[in-house]
Amino acid sequence: MNWTRNNPGWTMFGAMIGLLAFLWGMAIPLSAMPAPVGPAAQQFADGARITVWLTLIAGSVGVVIGVLAGLGKVSKFWPLRVLCDAYVWLIRGTPLLLQILFVWLAAPELMPEGVILSDFACAAIALSLNIGAYNTECVRAGILAVPHGQVEAARALGLSPLQTFMDVVLPQSMRVALPALANNLASLVKDSSLAYAISVVELTMIGYRVQAQSYQPIPVFLTIGAIYLILTTAFTTLTAALEARLDVGQKR
């Protein structure tokens, strides 16, 4: 890789280093703030790390779900297509908070005896399923955007259907879908705040606890809002640099 100042790799590298430095160093400037924020600085830092960890897990699983379900939606096997359509319809038509609560309450009944899912795991599952449904439509649109002539040309060259998909269709479809997938990831950072409803100790839950003890909601939630702004900015910077690296949307 040619690491020059104009290379998006510098931006990605800087954003990742900045995010890590922020997550592990944010307690220092926060501790200098007056009560109730200062005394709870380490709690805010720990909550932010849980938020990022939840976002990364759910976002990664959601991409896998989106690719698989997106393939299902364009499949010629109609039962699979109907199943994927039903999944997207169900998830997009119900509130995320309801989905989180359902997974949390249903998990003890659905899991084998002796297997217990943590609150964090339940939140990660619900968020993964939710963002996976939205990613499905992004991937489907990307697949349909690949010119059919390229598929026919690949087959004419002797490529198998699997080779055609892996080498021709999938790379191009993911380039088309990347901006929408990146937008979903930025939204996931904020949507993860709903995990507080099942007692996941992420950033919003920390804020709720601190303001309940101090009776000073304004400085607490202003601090939380600023932290979320920084986190979403870091993620959007990373994804924008990735788009630039892949020349998404560039006309030759």
Give the model confidence (pLDDT) of 115-160 as tens digits: 888 999 999 999 999 999 999 999 999 988 888 888 888 888 888 8
Residue 18 located in a structural domain: no
Predicted confidence (pLDDT) at residue 176 exceeds the cutoff of 90: no
Which residues are CB-neighbours of 179 under 8 A, at least 6 positions away? 243, 248, 249
Which CATH number is 72's domain given?
1.10.3720.10
**Token output for 57:** 């897990």
> Taking CA 225 as the corner, what is the angle to CA 238 and CA 133, rounded to the nearest 5 degrees?
55
User: What string of DSSP letters covers 37-61?
Assistant: TGGGHHHHHHHHHHHHHHHHHHHHH
Written as six digits, the tokens of 11 are: 């931006």
- Whether 23 is in a domain gets the answer no
Q: Look at the chain and report how many structural domains it folds into.
A: 1
Q: Give the confidence band of 26 by pLDDT, cuts at 50, 70, 90.
A: very high
In the chain, pLDDT over 70 holds for what percent of residues? 94
Whether 215 is covered by a domain: the verdict is yes
Range of the domain at 78: 44-245
> Does 222 reside within a domain?
yes
Sorted by sequence, the CB contacts under 8 Å of residue 222 that are 6+ apart come out as: none
Look at residue 21 and tell me if it is in a domain.
no
Which whole number is the average pLDDT over 210-222? 94
221-251 pLDDT, tens per residue?
Answer: 999 999 999 999 988 888 888 777 776 555 4
CA nearest 205: which of 213, 217, 218, 193? Answer: 193
* Structural domain includes residue 36: no
Look up the pTM and report it. Answer: 0.89
Distance CA 104, CA 193 (A): 15
Q: Does residue 7 lie in a domain region?
A: no
Looking at the domain assignment, is residue 22 inside a domain?
no
